[in-house]
Amino acid sequence: MNFDLIVIGSGPGGYVAAIRASQLGMKVAVVERAELGGICLNWGCIPTKALLKSASVYEYAHHAAEYGVVVDGTIKPDFAAIVARSRGVADNMSKGIQFLFKKNKIEVIQGFGKLVAPHKVEVTAADGTVTTVEANHIILATGARSRELPNLPIDGEKIIGYRQAMTLAKQPESMVVVGSGAIGSEFAYFYNAIGTKVTLVEFLPNIVPLEDEEVSKQLERSFKKAGIKVMTNSEVLSVDTTGEKCSVIIKTKKGEETVEADIVLSAVGIATNLEGLGLEEVGVANERGKVIVDEFYRTNIEGVYAIGDIVAGPALAHVASAEGICCVEKIAGMDVHPVDYSIIPGCTYTTPEVASVGLTEKKAIEAGHEVKVGKFPFTASGKATAAGARDGFVKVIFDAKDGKLLGAHLIGANVTEMVAEMVLAQNLGATGHQIIKAIHPHPTMSEAIMEAAAAAYGEVIHI
């Protein structure tokens, strides 16, 4: 079987690359050993958002009286039903990828793909059958999995990763979440919201450590108000799983502390899926778990490319998709601009939500910029007040010399839907005054962006 392009992996990098290549007239095959859509669609981005929506509905029901709505009877989470809904959402989306592949005449080859030559892939099916396929171009898009720490080995029962956290047989009474990045923070919020006693442990001084420090502090306050025990500057030394509960020894600034919990969730990052791909045999250069590529995702071997979590850069679904499109458009001979990694939005779907793009205030100053900073709290927003969602703020950072937007940092209700405006503004080189003069609809949460920009220039009206 000969193709113009073979993509190994059907996650948000792989399936998007395959569809774009088909649109450009290529004969395409996708090799996938598991469900179409990869981790993001089946075990990450999508099913976790379904879980979080269930938690949000449960919280709304509990606070219905605050909105003048009387709810009679017992309100309690049906954990099995919540999990089942999440799995149903993932299954439905995976079927959507099947439809798109069929529509775009993309052939799916089920099995584990391995490079055996620069233009040749060997696919081993679940039953052991081996098929060899050839292509002019091969894109590696094999993604990543939960990273394991030596002192926190995942056993799938008492110490779990994100996959098990989505499909537990029953709701735990207590949980320790290790790591407060997007995955850890989202699961901490979800389980706490439905009644699990949650302790969130972070090695660094701030939770969601990649975010602006003010955003981090606000999320920590919101988490504590919601009942989550937040431990920063803390390290899990060991976990004893021999008893009925896990005994977690945590090193803090004040000394060692022991926390008992039913479950320990390890959310300390990801490890790339490079094993068995044939990189060494074919000679594809890689270093520290990442395939080395140029700005158009070409490896050192002609005809072999790599995108997504297995290359350097943010391990985010939308980044993998952008890389896949860039890669195949370059293969097709189009005039392509490399992905601009300085303008990548990040979103964390806790309550309140967190969204950001560009430089933090600290990073902007470290980079030598003289900055103007504006901040607008949702406590001053009419829409946020009406919605009963006043936690959070919008913070914007401009270059004081030319007025261009350097970064935007949002925390609050629905801010993951608002940040795209800031991505576009930064892409277009928008200035603070251009944002101020762009009329924002009233009443909306997005008005806070205009008000924050106005605050940076001393023109804010509502605070």
Mean pLDDT along residues 33-56: 94
- Could you report the per-residue pLDDT of 233-246, keeping only the tens digit for each? 999 999 999 999 99
Is 80 exceeded by the pLDDT of residue 1?
Answer: no
Residue set of the binding site for FAD: 49, 113, 309
Instruction: Kindly give the pairing relationship between strand 144-146 and strand 270-272.
Output: antiparallel
Which of the listed CATH numbers 3.30.200.20, 3.50.50.60, 3.30.470.10, 2.40.33.10 matches domain 2-145+271-331?
A: 3.50.50.60
CA–CA distance, 36 with 269 (Å, rounded to integer): 23
Question: What is the residue-averaged pLDDT of the chain?
Answer: 96
> How high is the pLDDT of residue 395?
98
- Could you report the per-residue pLDDT of 312-347, keeping only the tens digit for each? 999 999 999 999 999 999 999 999 999 999 999 999
- Could you report the per-residue pLDDT of 420-443, keeping only the tens digit for each? 999 999 999 999 999 999 999 999
> How high is the pLDDT of residue 70?
93
Domain boundaries defined on the chain: 2-145+271-331, 159-268, 352-456
Q: Are 116 and 278 in contact (CB under 8 A)?
A: yes
Domains 2-145+271-331 and 352-456 agree in fold: no
Which CATH class for the 159-268 domain? alpha beta
> How high is the pLDDT of residue 73?
85
Mean pLDDT along residues 247-252: 97
Is 90 exceeded by the pLDDT of residue 198?
Answer: yes
Residue set of the binding site for NAD(+): 179-186, 202, 269
- Could you report the per-residue pLDDT of 147-193, keeping only the tens digit for each? 999 999 999 999 999 999 999 999 999 999 999 999 999 999 999 99
Q: Are 267 and 178 in contact (CB under 8 A)?
A: yes
Q: What angle do CA 398, 400, 406 make, to 5 degrees?
A: 25
Q: What angle do CA 394, 378, 359 make, to 5 degrees?
A: 10
**157-191 in b/e burial notation, b at 16+ Cβ within 10 A?**
ebbbbbbbbbebeebbebbbbbbbbbbbbbbbbbb
Look-up: residue for tokens 């919020």? 189
- Could you report the per-residue pLDDT of 204-233, keeping only the tens digit for each? 999 999 999 999 999 999 999 999 999 999
Taking Cα atoms as reference points, which of 409, 163, 385 lies closest to residue 270?
163
Inter-CA distances, 279 with 2, 13, 287, 310, Å: 21, 19, 11, 12
In the CATH scheme, what architecture does the domain 352-456 have? 2-Layer Sandwich (3.30)
Residue set of the binding site: 49, 113, 179-186, 202, 269, 309
- Could you report the per-residue pLDDT of 101-131, keeping only the tens digit for each? 999 999 999 999 999 999 999 999 999 999 9
Instruction: Kindly give the pairing relationship between strand 28-32 and strand 107-110.
Output: parallel
Catalytic residues: 442
Task: Output the pTM of the full model.
Answer: 0.95
Sequence letter at residue 392: G
Is 80 exceeded by the pLDDT of residue 357?
Answer: yes
Mean pLDDT along residues 61-83: 94
> How high is the pLDDT of residue 180?
97
Q: Write out the DSSP string of 41-109.
A: HHHSHHHHHHHHHHHHHHHHHHTGGGGT----S-----HHHHHHHHHHHHHHHHHHHHHHHHHTTPEEE
Please give the structure tokens belonging to residue 249. 């020894």
